[in-house]
Every structure is written in structure tokens, then in C-alpha cells.
A and B are shown apart, each in its own frame.
Chain A
Amino acid sequence: MSRANRPFKNVGEAADARQKQAKKRSLQTVNEHFEPGFNEAAATQVVFKPPVKAPTASLYHRIVVWLLFLILLLPLAGTLLYSLSTSWSATILPDGLTLKWYAALWSDERFLRAFGQSLLVCFGALALSVALILPLMFVVHYHFPKLDTLMNVLILLPFAVPPVVSSVGLLQLYGSGPLAMTGTPWILLGCYFTIALPFMYRAIANNLQAINLRDLMDAAHLLGASTWKAAFLVVLPNLRKGLMVSLFLSFSFLFGEFVFANMLVGTRYETLQVYLNNMRNSSGHFNSALVISYFFFVLVFTWAANRLNRDKA
């Protein structure tokens, strides 16, 4: 009412508006718990920082955080050290350091083939997912917004049904008959699509809400674009970033998928994880080099996703 109160009210509204934006844009809204995190991050820009805490308390928290980091680091660091050591048995520290295990790994033909096949399957599955999910997203959000509720239930299925359970049905249904696919990489494309679906759907849905699809399409129509043209030339470029983030993240866990690959295909089209499993009787150092090489790739892709995600904010 009174003029004097206006500025304060506006500050509050700005924070509110920002919170809503953050909610819509956040990629990781796989779970409702994420939202407050983004809201907090957005709201801190207007809310005052809490006072500095007592040094003993902050020391405690710092120790806890470092301990957490150490626990998470330990298996990785152990494997890295093992992959770099000449020999390491029955002692706490290795005897010497070498790069020969990496040299052996990266000149091993079977490894290179498995690596290439893993990449091929992952990229293939991601391409398939994009081809299937993008039109779906557009149609659902532009033509049938009510379907979104149904979709949000459907995308829970891949979470609720473990791959082992799906495999039981898949092996029986597609082991023979008109759709015989087990033992070929083709079945993995379909299965990996179901794994990536929930993440890609959520990410793109958030992105779509943030760009205000309906207004964008109406504007494009007014300017004379057809629906196809508007979808490809206006909407798609706006979704690029959310799509890329979800692709990077999906890649990093599809690359590590083992259950489907081992149960449905096995050695007939060996992926990296299956190869690692089949090499269980070879040198531990060699396998360590394999694990570290694998994780390095995952690291690069998650890092890229993180980076992109931060740029977006």
C-alpha cells in the first residue's frame, strides 16, 4: 500500500521469481529433494549470509568433509596406485612404479575392440534415445500437456524394475522367434534407451518448461513458420544445452552398464564391462589400468556435464 514498503516487497518478489526459475531449470530434478537446493542457491543472492561460526565448529565440519572425500577417494586411489606399480603383494605399499600396464592395455587388441564396441553401443543408444524422446517431448508438451503426468509415472518403471528382472523377460521373449535379438548389440540399444529415458525426460522437461514452449511456438507461427520449421529451428536450439547435459550424464552411466550387457549379449559382442569381468583371472595390475582408463572417460564426461550445467545457471 504505502510507497515506502514497495522496495522491500519487490526484493521479496524478485527472490520468489528467481526460485521458480531455478525450479524449472534445474536439470537434476529427478527427485523432489533437489528443488530446495537450487532454490537455496538462487535465494542466497538476496538473503544475508549467516554470521561466521566459531573456529572449532568449522574445524570439525572441515574434518568431516575431508574424511568423506578420503573415503570416496580410497578405492580409486588404491586402484590407480596398483595400476602404476611393478608388483604389489602382501605389503602395504608397492615395490616400484611403472607405466607398462597401461602400455600393455592400450596395445591389447581385445581391449581396444571392447572399448570401441562400448562406445558404439553407448552412442547408438543415445542417438536412438534422442530420436525417440525429442518428438515425444515436443508432442506431449505442445499438444497433450496432460500426458506429462502419465509420462512421469511411466519413467519410474526403469527405476522400479531392476535390469536383472527385465533380463528374465527379455531373454525369453527375444531369444528366438521374429524378434530374436539376444546375443546381438541391437538388444542393448533398446535396453539402454530405457535406462537413459528417465534422466533425459526429466532434463528435457525442465528445459522445455523454462523456455515457455507455447509462447515460442505462437511467435514462430505468427512469423509464418510451420510447426515443423518452428520445432526444428526455434525450439531445438533452445533445448541444446539441457540435451547435452543429459547426454553426457547418460553416457557416463551407460558406459558402466554391466547387467544387460553380460546377461543378454555376453562375449558375442564384448563391451568394456563384460571384458573386465572376463579378464578376472589376468593380472590385477593390468585390470587396474583398465579400471582407471575406464573411469577416466567417465570422469571427462561427468565433468563436461557439470561444466555445462554450471554455465547454464
Chain B
Amino acid sequence: MSAPSSLRRWLPLLCLLPFALFFLVFQVAPLVWVAVNSLNSPNGWGLGNFEKIFASKFYMQAIKHSLEIAFWSSLFGMAIAILGSYSLRQVDSKLRDFVIAFSNMTSNFAGVPLAFAFIILLGFNGALTLLLIQLGLIESFNLYSKNGLIVLYTYFQIPLGVLLLYPAFDALRQDWRESAALLGAGTWDFWRHIGLPVLTPALLGTFVILLANALGAYATVYYLTTGNFNVLPIRIAAMVSGDISLDPNLASALSMILVGLMVLITAVHQLLLKRSQHVTR
């Protein structure tokens, strides 16, 4: 009341200052540094770092591995999440609430502890590996390979997929199903012509988030292979915190490729979403 009016006007903005400062220091500045220095190559400013990456089989392999693992784990994770969330809607609420709560909790079971748990379960002497071999279902299982990583990544995609997809099934109304059945549509017809088209935006959105989740994952693969498996995050980290061949500028260029991939995926998602017929829901 007695404060000068100019102070009263500036006080709210002053309250924003600490937040803006921290956000700048810890989120914006590092990203800007990476973006700028990705263009700083030994031969001066320019696209030298990117040329080096795209000419190198080693770095291209890292990108390829990252994309492959992200794609397959997102696909499998989503398939399981779709089946799971659809069935979750059909069972009684007690079981449903319990499994959903459990699934949400396991979404925090990721990174190093998860990699460790998988070594116990599916490592060379893992209990599940031995069981499956004794049952004659598999000959051997290498958790430390690309396929092993896909299995591991799939696991941490499932809770996230359920979290995102479970509410999406709301879009499917029970009476549509009954109407379709009355008009002579079978289960297959219903899903082909009604179910899937209606769910498409949610499915695409979830798939994009899962892809981004897998692309950026570092802790799991780092612990599992002590940084020896060639994927993008591992390569980036090795070039700034490894013992040999430190090259922050090249790491920045790789980082920009990783961020670029995420932006690209999001852009494609937006494009597909516009094309899909159920946008204006």
C-alpha cells in the first residue's frame, strides 16, 4: 500500500528472476554451448565435425544401433502395452488398480538397478536363461548383444507405454463395439475399421515418446556393457568423460545429431497426426 508503484510493478518480475537464472545456467546454457561448439571443428568453424561423423563407419554404426534398438524396443514395448492396457480395462477394478499401481512403480525401476536385475535373470548364468535352455526353448542368450539390449529396453518401455496408453482406450466406446456387431462387423472388422483408426493418434504419440525414451537412455547400457556397446549416448559420454580421446566438440556434434533425431521424430509425428482423420476430435 505504501510501496511506490514502480516497485509494486517490478516485484513480481523480481520473483521470476531466481528461476530464470537457474534455468538458464543448468538447462539453456549447456544446450547453447553444445549447439555452438558442434560447429567448432579442428579446421575452424563449419560443418567439419558432422562431415567427420557421417564419413566414419564407427559413428554411423552407433547411430544405426541406437535407432534399431529404439525402434524395436518401442514396437515390442508398445505391443505389450496395448494388449495389457486393453485387457486392464476389462478386468475388475481391484486387480486393475493393483496392476496399474505396480506398473507405475516399476517405471522407476530403470537404469543401473534394472541392468543389474537383468544380469541376474538373463545373463549367461541367469536363472531365466538356464530355465529356458533346460526347457529347450533357446540354445543360448546373450544379454550383452543388440538383441539382449532390445529385450532389456522393451522391459522399461512397458510401464511407460501402459501409463500413456491406458487412458487412450477411453476413446473407444463400448456402444460402438455393440453397434458394429449389430451391423455385422466381426472382431477383426471392428479393429480394422474403427478401433485402430480411432486409437491412431494416441498410438503414434506414445510411440514417439517411447522412441525418445530409448534413444536417450544411457545408464542401462552403460552398466550392462561397461560402455562397450556402440550407441549414441555411450559415444557422446565417452568423448567428454572417458580416459582417452576427449573431444567435446565432436561430442557436441553427436549430441546435436541425437537431439536432431528426436526433433525429427516429433516433426514426423506431427505430420502424421495432421494426416490422420481423427485429429479434430
**A residues lining the B interface (CB < 8 Å):** 31-40, 50, 53, 57-58, 60-62, 64-65, 68-69, 71-76, 78-79, 81-82, 88-93, 128, 131-133, 135-136, 138-140, 142-144, 154, 157-173, 179, 190-191, 193-194, 197, 226, 252-253, 256-259, 262-263, 273, 276-277, 280, 284, 287-288, 291, 294-295, 298-299, 302-303, 306
Contacts and interface: CB of A to CB of B under 8 A. Distances in A.
B120 A284 contact: yes
Nearest to A49: B174
A36 to B, nearest CB: 4
B236 A164 contact: yes
B270 interface: no
A64 B117 CA distance: 23
Interface in B197-248: 202, 205-206, 209, 212, 215-216, 218-219, 222-223, 226, 233, 236-237, 240-241, 248
Contacts of A262: 219, 222
A302 B105 contact: yes
Interface residues of B, number: 95
B31 A161 contact: yes
A136 B15 contact: yes
A165 B258 contact: yes
Chain B at the A interface: SS class: helix
Given A40-B167, A90-B130, A173 B121 contact: no
Contacts of B263: 160
B96 A298 contact: no
A250 B209 CA distance: 19
Given A79-B120, A139-B16, A164 B167 contact: no
B255 interface: yes
B120 A168 contact: no
Contacts of B174: 50
Given A58-B90, A90-B130, A36 B168 contact: yes
A157 to B, nearest CB: 6
Contacts of A71: 80, 155, 158
A38 B168 CA distance: 11
Interface string B258-276: 1100110010000000000
Nearest to A40: B170
Contacts of A53: 90
A255 to B, nearest CB: 8
Contacts of B116: 79, 276, 287-288, 291
26 contacts: A36-B167, A36-B170, A37-B170, A38-B167, A58-B91, A61-B86, A65-B88, A75-B114, A75-B155, A76-B109, A79-B113, A79-B116, A89-B125, A91-B130, A92-B131, A135-B15, A135-B16, A139-B12, A142-B12, A160-B212, A166-B27, A168-B252, A169-B31, A169-B252, A193-B26, A197-B23
Contact of B218 (A68, A128, A157, A162): A162
A172 B114 contact: no
Contacts, number: 266
Top 10 closest A-B pairs, CB basis?
A169-B30, A37-B167, A162-B216, A36-B170, A64-B87, A75-B117, A169-B33, A61-B87, A61-B90, A190-B26
Interface of B: 1, 12-13, 15-16, 18-19, 22-23, 25-34, 37, 80, 83-84, 86-88, 90-91, 95-96, 99, 101-106, 108-114, 116-121, 125-128, 130-131, 134, 155, 158-159, 162, 164-168, 170-171, 174, 202, 205-206, 209, 212, 215-216, 218-219, 222-223, 226, 233, 236-237, 240-241, 248, 251-252, 255, 258-259, 262-263, 266
Given A164-B218, A193-B22, A253 B30 contact: no
Contact of A299 (B105, B164, B202): B105
A306 B107 CA distance: 14
Given A164-B216, A165-B255, A68 B80 contact: yes
A68 B84 contact: yes
A72 B158 contact: yes
A60 B87 contact: yes
A291 B248 contact: no
A57 B127 contact: no
Q: Name the residue in A40, A74, A160, A161 with the highest tally of chain B Cβ atoms < 10 Å from its Cβ.
A: A161
Contact of B18 (A135, A258, A299): A135
A253 B108 contact: yes
